[in-house]
């Protein structure tokens, strides 16, 4: 083992963000390695941070960005622009001069570029995908020895490589460490240039490199050292000299417009012919403080400020509902929940809350006697508790499972038949008519086909069962989880019926299905966590411990679990067999209320969904079963803000399903511990999601996955665009845009909190993750102590007045 070389590889890979497999898609900030530094320095090769000048000017034309936004953005970014000056006898503010300049100065948007795919990248991508493919038709020989060793053993017989190279390969060191060291010497890389050379090499194939980093930490069948050993050894054998990365970050270029020309143009537009040389000189001194390369981020900030000021102005302070509510619905902070909450809480005695969709119950979950398990918890946590379920009728469940396994065996054998070398011909002759008929049915009447399929192959999930909370957690752990949830959400009193609704998406033929499921549950459906949480809250022993800690849950309060289907908007009650007779009527009332709310919400969503009509809600819901549909739903497109505070701030306000809503009451969190948990976990997850959408929208070729229509799956690892090349990162284009236009507005997350500013400040100052995000402008924070206090904006130097409602809107 060459420890120094291993340290150099780790150092070179430090800024690379691990990339989760698509089967449990975790939204991440693809530029998270840059978070310790200012946002504006994060541009990397082929990556842009903003939209084009033309896009911002178009926004200015339609009033999406007004002069007041530009002035506010300039005031934040260039505090020196505070004074006034006289041009041609007119007194004007320096900031308005800079605004005129921003609208006239030319700059070229660098534009996100397609990644290059030279021969070496194509070659390596083929080897890596063959090595990692979990379900290959022909397993790679020597795979168990490791990536480098398998390649070394096989590439010697690869006819695509020159004969001389193959002869040299027979002499290569056996161990990857030694091979990499040998290659670096052969390539003439000086000792002090090793890390930089490795870093440059890791810039190529960023999709596979990110996934290998994740895999090395979570699975361990490949690591970056063995990947680099193959890459560098091959270059040495083929005599390809590695060069330090020549791909420089792309920045907006000043299009040959000198400072004097800019100043002259602005001075003449203000003072006309009366503007003289001294006026132009005065203007140029102002404009020198805001050079053209800074314009793009000022436009972006103005774009964000407009949304933020409008959002803050829309917030209300409705009176809390003081009598006991009859129904409480707790949903995930996911912006899609906002629509359901708004539509269902029309009666005053219905209260809704926002909480992380894993309901504070982090588990690894497996269904009854299922093969495998899923980590149903945030990616920020490690699974330590295993939850499963026990059917109420084990004999029936076993019978059900036996039939399911028979169907699986049949499916497996037909899969083998249609993927062999010769068998597909005979298989098509024998069974083609059946599959043809099913395909026609699935294409023309997807909903009917889904019903038939459901009837013929009932899911085990439909069988009554109980989740095993007692086996998974101690009583103390269960009570602690319940107490944490109550204090984080700020529930002061409990309704007779409390519904905990996780969420899941439903679509066909969609490799990115997991990206539409619950992010707080590790890209999985949230039903298991909701069921576990409801069981914990209904546990009399837990309630007794909670009572001792000052949380009294009335004996007539019952918790039920539910799941919100974000394609159909149905909220289905789970574990209905557990609902006591005393609460059956309340559960039925909830059913009716959610059906009515879903009807309204589907019509609302249809206005934004490509190709949908508010007059055909059934067709919107039918997208769940349509195998040709690339827009089953819009997911979290449009996400732009997170509000942490009581529902009274937002109840009755249409937030257009763009805001993460986390309930919080200062009065129930006197030491600020719950607020710290919210700010260091749900807020961080929301920021990961927000930046995933942001960069996938701006860089569909490099940080997004491109169009779904040409995707090919590599097992459950990820997708390729076409048949070869790099593993695609980020979200597909259909998550952020339609045709050539974005429907997602890329804005950095606006965080709004109602809580004591002192508490917020203390939490920020003791958590480096928050300092990085806030001090470096990756997100913004606006807060107020209480409803009567003014809004303040966080800056690294203290709280300052937040921009108020905008002029000119």
Partner 1 sequence: MTMTMNNLTQMTRLEVVVPARDAPAIRELITSAGATGYTSVSGVSGIGHHGQHSGALLFNEYDTLTMLITVLPPDNAGELIDAVQQLLSTSSGVMFVSDTYVSRPDYFQ
Interaction site with partner 1 (CB under 8 A): 1, 3-4, 6-8, 10-11, 13-14, 36, 216-217, 223, 356, 360, 362, 378-382, 484, 676-677, 680-682, 684, 765-769, 771
Instruction: Please compute, for residue 344, the number of CA atoms within 13 A of its CA located in the half-sphere on the CB side.
Output: 30
Q: Give the nearest distance from C-beta 44 to partner 1 in angstroms.
A: 17
Q: Give the nearest distance from C-beta 352 to partner 1 in angstroms.
A: 21
Q: Give the nearest distance from C-beta 192 to partner 1 in angstroms.
A: 12
Q: Give the nearest distance from C-beta 513 to partner 1 in angstroms.
A: 25
Q: Give the nearest distance from C-beta 128 to partner 1 in angstroms.
A: 20
Supply the DSSP string of 766-778, one letter for each residue: T-HHHHHHHHTTS
Tell me how far apart the alpha carbons of residues 101 and 291 are, in angstroms, rounded to a whole number.
Answer: 10
- Determine contact, residues 604/656, Cβ cutoff 8 Å: no
**Nearer Cβ to partner 1 (13/128):** 13
Supply the DSSP string of 208-230, one letter for each residue: HHHHHHHHHHHT-S--HHHHHHH
- Determine contact, residues 502/563, Cβ cutoff 8 Å: yes
**Nearer Cβ to partner 1 (223/296):** 223
**Nearer Cβ to partner 1 (6/576):** 6
Closest CA to 389 of 363, 408, 426: 363
- 32's CB contacts (< 8 A; 6+ apart) are 17, 688, 691
Q: Give the nearest distance from C-beta 694 to partner 1 in angstroms.
A: 20
Instruction: Tell me the CA end-to-end span of the chain in Å, nearest whole number.
Output: 65
**Nearer Cβ to partner 1 (286/642):** 642
Supply the DSSP string of 584-632, one letter for each residue: HHHHHHHHHHHHHHHHHHHHHHHTTSTT--TT-HHHHHHGGG-TT-S-S
Strands (E) in 409-518, as ranges, are 465-467, 497-504
Tell me how far apart the alpha carbons of residues 299 and 275 are, in angstroms, rounded to a whole number.
Answer: 27
CA distances, 265 to each of 280, 281, 316, 659 (Å): 9, 12, 44, 41
Closest CA to 361 of 576, 499, 522, 544: 522
**Nearer Cβ to partner 1 (75/769):** 769
Q: What is the torsional sign of CA 31, 726, 694, 333?
A: negative
Strands 571-573 and 558-565: antiparallel
**Nearer Cβ to partner 1 (8/510):** 8
3-state helix, strand, coil in the chain (%, to 5): 50, 10, 40
Q: Give the nearest distance from C-beta 643 to partner 1 in angstroms.
A: 19
**Nearer Cβ to partner 1 (225/309):** 225
Q: Give the nearest distance from C-beta 550 to partner 1 in angstroms.
A: 19
Token digits of residue 368: 């009854």
Tell me how far apart the alpha carbons of residues 472 and 519 are, in angstroms, rounded to a whole number.
Answer: 22
Q: Which residues pair with 467 in a beta bridge?
A: 389
Tell me how far apart the alpha carbons of residues 608 and 742 are, in angstroms, rounded to a whole number.
Answer: 12
**Nearer Cβ to partner 1 (160/382):** 382
**Nearer Cβ to partner 1 (1/596):** 1
Q: Which residues pair with 386 in a beta bridge?
A: 364
Q: Give the nearest distance from C-beta 3 to partner 1 in angstroms.
A: 4
- Determine contact, residues 64/306, Cβ cutoff 8 Å: yes
**Nearer Cβ to partner 1 (2/493):** 2
Tell me how far apart the alpha carbons of residues 613 and 604 are, in angstroms, rounded to a whole number.
Answer: 9
Pick left, alpha or beta for residue 641 (phi over 0 → left; psi -120 to 50 → alpha; otherwise beta): beta
Tell me how far apart the alpha carbons of residues 520 and 502 are, in angstroms, rounded to a whole number.
Answer: 10
Supply the DSSP string of 665-688, one letter for each residue: -GGG-TTSHHHHHHHHTHHHHHHH
Tell me how far apart the alpha carbons of residues 220 and 231 are, in angstroms, rounded to a whole number.
Answer: 19
**Nearer Cβ to partner 1 (378/746):** 378
**Nearer Cβ to partner 1 (139/796):** 796
Q: Give the nearest distance from C-beta 351 to partner 1 in angstroms.
A: 24
Token digits of residue 573: 């009650």
Q: Give the nearest distance from C-beta 767 to partner 1 in angstroms.
A: 6
**Nearer Cβ to partner 1 (303/473):** 473
Please tell me what DSSP assigns to residue 706. B
Element (H, E) at 735: none
**Nearer Cβ to partner 1 (756/787):** 756
**Nearer Cβ to partner 1 (386/415):** 386
Supply the DSSP string of 796-807, one letter for each residue: TTEEEEPP-SPT
Q: Give the nearest distance from C-beta 312 to partner 1 in angstroms.
A: 27
Q: Give the nearest distance from C-beta 210 to partner 1 in angstroms.
A: 14
- Determine contact, residues 19/729, Cβ cutoff 8 Å: yes
Tell me how far apart the alpha carbons of residues 636 and 337 are, in angstroms, rounded to a whole number.
Answer: 10
Angle, CA of 428, 430 and 433, to the nearest 5°? 75
Longest dimension (CA), the chain: 94
Q: Give the nearest distance from C-beta 177 to partner 1 in angstroms.
A: 9
**Nearer Cβ to partner 1 (81/774):** 774
**Nearer Cβ to partner 1 (44/510):** 44
Closest CA to 727 of 705, 708, 710: 705
Q: Give the nearest distance from C-beta 514 to partner 1 in angstroms.
A: 19
Q: Give the nearest distance from C-beta 82 to partner 1 in angstroms.
A: 30
Q: Give the nearest distance from C-beta 784 to partner 1 in angstroms.
A: 24
Q: Give the nearest distance from C-beta 675 to partner 1 in angstroms.
A: 11
Closest CA to 380 of 647, 131, 686, 646: 686
* Residue in the structure block whose two tokens are 């993460």: 660
**Nearer Cβ to partner 1 (358/590):** 358
């Amino acid at each position: 083992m060459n420890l120094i070389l291993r340290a150099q590889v780790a150092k070179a890979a430090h800024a690379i963000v691990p990339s989760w497999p698509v089967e449990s898609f975790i939204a991440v900030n693809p530029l998270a390695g840059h978070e310790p530094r200012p946002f504006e320095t994060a541009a990397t090769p082929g990556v842009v941070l903003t939209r084009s000048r033309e896009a911002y000017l178009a926004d200015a034309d339609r009033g999406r960005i007004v002069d007041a936004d530009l002035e506010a953005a300039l005031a934040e970014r260039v505090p020196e622009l505070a004074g006034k000056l006289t041009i041609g006898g007119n007194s004007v503010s320096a900031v308005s001069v800079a605004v005129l300049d921003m609208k006239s100065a030319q700059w070229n948007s660098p534009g996100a570029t397609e990644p290059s795919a030279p021969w070496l990248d194509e070659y390596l991508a083929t080897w890596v995908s063959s090595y990692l493919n979990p379900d290959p038709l022909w397993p790679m020989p020597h795979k168990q020895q490791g990536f480098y060793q398998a390649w070394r053993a096989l590439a010697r017989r690869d006819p695509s490589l020159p004969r001389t190279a193959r002869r040299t390969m027979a002499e290569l060191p056996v161990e990857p460490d030694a091979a990499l060291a040998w290659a670096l010497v052969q390539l003439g890389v000086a000792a002090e240039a090793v890390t930089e050379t490795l870093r440059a090499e890791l810039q190529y194939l960023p999709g596979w490199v990110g996934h290998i980093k994740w895999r090395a930490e979570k699975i361990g069948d490949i690591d970056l050292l063995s990947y680099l050993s193959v890459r560098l050894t091959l270059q040495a054998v083929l005599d390809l000299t590695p060069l330090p990365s020549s791909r420089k970050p792309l920045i907006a270029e000043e299009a040959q417009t000198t400072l004097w020309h800019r100043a002259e143009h602005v001075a003449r537009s203000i003072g006309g012919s009366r503007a003289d040389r001294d006026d132009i000189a005065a203007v140029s001194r102002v404009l020198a403080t805001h050079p053209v390369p800074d314009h793009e981020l000022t436009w972006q900030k103005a774009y964000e400020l407009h949304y933020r000021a409008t959002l803050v102005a829309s917030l209300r302070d409705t009176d809390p509902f003081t009598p006991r509510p009859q129904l409480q619905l707790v949903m995930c902070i996911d912006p899609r929940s906002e629509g359901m909450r708004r539509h269902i809480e029309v009666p005053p005695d219905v209260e809704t809350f926002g909480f992380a969709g894993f309901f504070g119950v982090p588990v690894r979950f497996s269904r009854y006697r299922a093969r495998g398990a899923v980590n149903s918890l945030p990616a920020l946590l490690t699974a330590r508790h295993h939850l499963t379920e026990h059917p109420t009728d084990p004999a029936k469940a076993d019978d059900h499972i036996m039939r399911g396994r028979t169907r699986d065996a049949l499916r497996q054998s037909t899969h083998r038949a249609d993927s062999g070398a010769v068998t597909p011909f005979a298989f098509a002759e024998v069974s083609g008519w059946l599959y043809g008929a099913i395909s026609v049915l699935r294409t023309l009447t997807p909903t009917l086909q889904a019903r038939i399929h459901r009837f013929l192959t009932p899911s085990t999930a439909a069988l009554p069962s109980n989740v095993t909370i007692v086996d998974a957690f101690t009583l103390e752990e269960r009570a602690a989880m319940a107490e944490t949830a109550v204090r984080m959400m700020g529930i002061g009193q409990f309704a007779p019926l409390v519904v905990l609704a996780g969420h899941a998406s439903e679509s066909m033929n969609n490799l990115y299905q997991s990206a539409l499921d619950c992010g707080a549950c590790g890209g999985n459906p949230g039903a298991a966590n909701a069921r576990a949480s409801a069981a914990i809250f209904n546990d009399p022993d837990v309630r007794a411990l909670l009572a001792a800690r000052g949380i009294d849950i009335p004996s007539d309060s019952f918790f039920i679990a539910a799941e919100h289907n974000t394609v159909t908007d149905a909220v289905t009650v789970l574990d209905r067999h557990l609902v006591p007779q005393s609460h059956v009527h309340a559960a039925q009332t909830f059913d009716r209320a959610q059906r009515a709310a879903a009807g309204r919400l589907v019509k609302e969503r249809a206005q934004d969904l490509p190709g949908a009509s508010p007059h055909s809600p059934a067709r919107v819901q039918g997208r769940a079963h349509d195998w040709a549909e690339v827009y089953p739903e819009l997911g979290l497109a449009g996400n732009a803000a997170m509000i942490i505070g009581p529902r009274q701030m937002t109840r009755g306000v249409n937030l257009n399903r763009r805001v993460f809503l986390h309930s919080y009451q200062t009065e129930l969190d006197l030491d600020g511990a719950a607020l710290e948990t919210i700010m260091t976990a749900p807020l961080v997850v929301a920021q990961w999601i927000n930046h995933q959408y942001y960069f996938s929208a701006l860089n569909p070729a490099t940080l997004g996955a491109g169009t779904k229509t040409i995707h090919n799956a590599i097992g459950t690892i990820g997708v390729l665009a076409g048949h070869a090349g790099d593993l695609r990162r980020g979200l597909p284009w259909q998550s952020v845009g339609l045709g050539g236009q974005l429907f997602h507005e890329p804005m950095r997350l606006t965080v709004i909190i109602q809580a004591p500013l002192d508490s917020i400040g203390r939490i920020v100052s003791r958590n480096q993750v928050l300092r990085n995000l806030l001090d470096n402008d990756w997100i913004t924070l606006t807060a107020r102590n209480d409803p009567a206090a003014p809004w303040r904006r966080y800056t690294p130097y203290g709280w300052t007045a937040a921009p108020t409602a905008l002029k000119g809107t």
